[in-house]
């Protein structure tokens, strides 16, 4: 098989002002699909950069057909016109090749072959496919000229001429009958594929399609045009065009790096090639990544590929609109910073048990927690909960957006650790003293820009929006706390495909035989009953024993539990 990968790079366009800025979308591939997506996004006011390696599938053809108002236009001219339209609306089209892509806290970072990088919130892949032609001398050089594939693209141009269809695939008979629509002079040459069965042979005969058994050895060129095909036995068949049914490959480096799923297209038991697994709107198996064009529909002509680029861009923009709204809500809540009044609290991460739940607790939960976190009183270790660290390290969550909501963040140790792992975190707590300390620690750790600290009462509600990871760590309190309702709301805040992680105490530590008054220590089954249901996959639900040091310095233990659910 001969790997066809023509390179006709478009003229270099001005690069975006600063690749260190996070733009909305990077489109990989500047053919009909990629440029249509870029145009749609630029007209929507999005910052978009199309990176084009100049390897359009139809580049060898002199003209393209079936594209309304552009029929007969050279493929390179479509790229030139499309580039001008994208840039007219403020988009960027640059000549280059994306060689690596990886997830970041903001979305993705792509590296180009010239050493530059672009940070982006979303990715749209439209890099096309690579046709694999039969390994016969002369075919590759005539590909797209008089070695053809699609009758709708080239049939009219070779109408009524002699056409040889190479029967080297499961669709050979179908192809021969299809091309008979354009010419009465069609010959089916088959060797490696099975001969037509009785019904197929009857159809070919009835339509006047000749059938010859033989192996292709090459093509004959006369006056710079194809004039026949040569067979291995030395014979020759006169023709003006050869029809092939190429298999294809994907340019898989980026797909593999991002974890994008692909499936094989199988026809009559034969694998023709892979294609990206995507929803009708182009959304792939990886959040934040869309695909368009021949990547998702290998048989799509140019106009269909362009339409898929528009559709994917519209879906991608809708996702960005939702993300913009979520960010705006977070910013508005942060700006309002409402003062708490008779509201409960979630006991956040990194805490030891320094409260006993005595009868003389303050009537106002906010007052209790402000006193708990008052300056000079440090009931926290400053370290993240080891259970959440172990859980997310041993079973990492792979999501490009990496947004997390930490309920009852307390002094912020868990949120800071998540931000250090590349997450964009929203930390929520009722105590201003706790959040002030958390903000100081985040700044010292160099992750202040990745965490939003919000003073909020979870007894009242949970923030609008969805996150890929929602954590509720040690959600216990000796004062008013509607724990069950908070956990139900937390589940509703998990994005599709996202994870809810609940880590809590199942009982008091070994040095404290009786649990604190008014404190709930639910079992794993109770938590599962509360949260489990349709639309969720239980990834982990078990009790664990945590080793501690008792106040007297002796070894001790405490029963905890971990419940991890994924929204399906």
Tell me the CA distances in angstroms from 105 to 31, 109, 127, 413, one per residue in order: 29, 10, 25, 18
- Which helix (H) or strand (E) segment holds residue 21: the answer is none
Q: How many angstroms separate the CA atoms of 380 and 255, rounded?
A: 43
pLDDT at 337: 38
- What is the percentage of the chain residues whose pLDDT exceeds 70? 84
pLDDT tier at 356, thresholds 50, 70, 90: very low
pLDDT at 61: 84
pLDDT tier at 331, thresholds 50, 70, 90: low
Mean pLDDT, range 135-164, rounded to an integer: 91
Residue 265's nearest CA partner among 253, 276, 257 is 276
pLDDT tier at 279, thresholds 50, 70, 90: very high
Q: Is pLDDT of 541 > 70?
A: yes
pLDDT at 358: 44
11 versus 526: the higher-pLDDT residue is 526
Residue 282's nearest CA partner among 243, 234, 316, 326 is 316
327 versus 115: the higher-pLDDT residue is 115
Are 379 and 353 within 8 A, CB to CB? Answer: no
Q: How many angstroms separate the CA atoms of 230 and 500, rounded?
A: 65
Q: Is pLDDT of 227 > 50?
A: yes
pLDDT at 558: 85
pLDDT tier at 16, thresholds 50, 70, 90: very low
299 versus 85: the higher-pLDDT residue is 85
DSSP-derived 3-state class of residue 235 = coil
The angle subtended at Cα 50 by Cα 284 and Cα 254, nearest 5°, is 45
Q: Is pLDDT of 138 > 90?
A: no
Q: How many angstroms separate the CA atoms of 130 and 251, rounded?
A: 7
Q: Which residues, 6+ apart, have CB-to-CB distance to 340 below 8 Å?
A: 366, 430, 455, 457
161 exposure class (CB count in 10 Å sphere: 0-12, 13-18, 19+): middle
pLDDT at 359: 45
pLDDT at 480: 62
Q: Is pLDDT of 350 > 80?
A: no
pLDDT (tens digit, 9 = 90+) per residue, 376-431?
A: 555 555 688 888 888 898 888 887 778 999 998 888 999 999 999 989 999 998 88
Are 126 and 291 within 8 A, CB to CB? Answer: yes
Residue 315's nearest CA partner among 37, 22, 106 is 37
Q: Is pLDDT of 151 > 90?
A: yes
Mean pLDDT, range 328-342, rounded to an integer: 49
pLDDT (tens digit, 9 = 90+) per residue, 54-90?
A: 988 888 888 888 899 999 899 899 999 999 999 999 9
pLDDT at 385: 85
pLDDT tier at 203, thresholds 50, 70, 90: very high
Most confidently predicted of 5-9, 354-358, 516-520: 516-520
Taken in order of first residue, the domains within the chain and their CATH numbers are 2-131+248-321 (3.50.50.60), 135-243 (3.50.50.60), 337-567 (3.40.50.150)
Mean of the per-residue pLDDT values for the chain? 83
Tell me the CA distances in angstroms from 252 to 59, 261, 443, 539, one per residue in order: 20, 10, 40, 30
pLDDT tier at 20, thresholds 50, 70, 90: low
pLDDT tier at 252, thresholds 50, 70, 90: confident
pLDDT (tens digit, 9 = 90+) per residue, 427-447?
A: 998 888 888 889 988 998 889
pLDDT tier at 360, thresholds 50, 70, 90: low
Structure tokens at 502: 């609940």
- The lowest-confidence range among 35-44, 338-347, 527-536 is 338-347
pLDDT at 267: 76
Tell me the CA distances in angstroms from 507 to 351, 486, 550, one per residue in order: 15, 20, 15
pLDDT at 10: 41
User: How many other CB atoms sit within 10 Å of the CB of residue 198?
Assistant: 7
């Amino acid at each position: 098989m001969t790997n066809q990968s023509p390179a006709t790079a478009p003229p270099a366009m001005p690069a975006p002002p600063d690749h260190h800025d996070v733009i909305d979308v990077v489109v990989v591939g500047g053919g009909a699909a990629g440029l249509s997506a870029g145009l749609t996004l630029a007209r929507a006011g999005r910052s978009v950069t199309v990176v084009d390696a100049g390897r359009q599938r139809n580049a060898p053809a002199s003209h393209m057909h079936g594209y309304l108002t552009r029929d007969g236009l050279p493929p390179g001219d479509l790229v030139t016109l499309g580039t001008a339209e994208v840039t007219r609306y403020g988009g960027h089209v640059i000549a280059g090749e994306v060689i690596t892509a990886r997830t970041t806290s903001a979305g993705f970072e792509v590296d180009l072959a010239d050493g530059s990088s672009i940070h982006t919130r979303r990715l749209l892949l439209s890099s096309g496919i690579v046709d694999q032609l039969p390994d016969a001398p002369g075919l590759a050089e005539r590909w797209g000229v008089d070695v053809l594939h699609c009758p709708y693209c080239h049939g009219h141009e070779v109408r009524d001429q002699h056409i040889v269809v190479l029967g080297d695939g499961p669709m050979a008979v179908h192809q021969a009958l299809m091309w008979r629509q354009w010419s009465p002079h069609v010959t089916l040459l088959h060797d490696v594929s099975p001969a037509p069965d009785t019904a197929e042979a009857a159809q070919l005969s009835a339509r006047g399609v000749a059938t010859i058994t033989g192996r292709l050895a090459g093509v004959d060129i006369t006056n710079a045009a194809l004039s026949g095909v040569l067979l291995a036995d030395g014979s020759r068949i006169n023709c003006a065009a050869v029809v092939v049914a190429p298999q294809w490959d994907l340019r898989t480096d980026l797909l593999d790096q991002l974890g994008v799923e692909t499936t094989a297209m199988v026809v009559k038991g034969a694998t023709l090639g892979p294609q990206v697994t995507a929803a009708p709107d182009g959304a792939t198996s990886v959040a934040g990544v869309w695909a368009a064009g021949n990547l998702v529909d290998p048989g799509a002509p140019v106009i269909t590929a362009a339409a898929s680029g528009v559709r994917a861009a519209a879906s991608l923009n809708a996702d960005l609109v939702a993300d913009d709204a979520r960010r705006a809500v977070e910013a508005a809540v942060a700006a309002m910073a409402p003062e708490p009044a008779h509201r409960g609290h979630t006991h956040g991460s990194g805490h030891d048990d320094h409260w006993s739940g005595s009868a003389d607790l303050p009537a106002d939960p906010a007052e209790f927690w402000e006193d708990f976190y008052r300056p000079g009183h440090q009931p926290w270790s400053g370290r993240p909960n080891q259970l959440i660290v172990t859980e997310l390290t041993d079973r990492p969550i792979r999501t490009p957006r990496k947004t997390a909501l930490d309920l009852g963040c307390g002094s912020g140790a868990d949120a800071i650790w998540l931000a250090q792992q590349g997450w964009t975190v929203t930390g929520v707590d009722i105590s201003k003293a706790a959040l002030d300390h958390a903000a100081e620690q985040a700044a010292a750790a160099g992750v202040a820009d990745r965490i939003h600290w919000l003073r909020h009462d979870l007894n009242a509600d949970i923030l609008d929006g969805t996150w890929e990871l929602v954590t509720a760590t040690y959600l216990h309190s000796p004062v008013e706390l509607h724990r069950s309702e908070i956990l139900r709301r937390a589940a509703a805040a998990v994005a599709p495909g996202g994870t809810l992680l609940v880590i809590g105490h199942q009982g008091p530590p070994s040095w404290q035989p009786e649990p604190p008054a008014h404190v709930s220590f639910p079992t794993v089954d109770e938590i599962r009953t509360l949260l489990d249901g349709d639309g969720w996959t239980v990834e982990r639900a078990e009790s664990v024993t945590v080793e501690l040091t008792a106040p007297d310095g002796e070894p001790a233990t405490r029963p905890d539990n971990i419940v991890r659910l994924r929204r399906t």
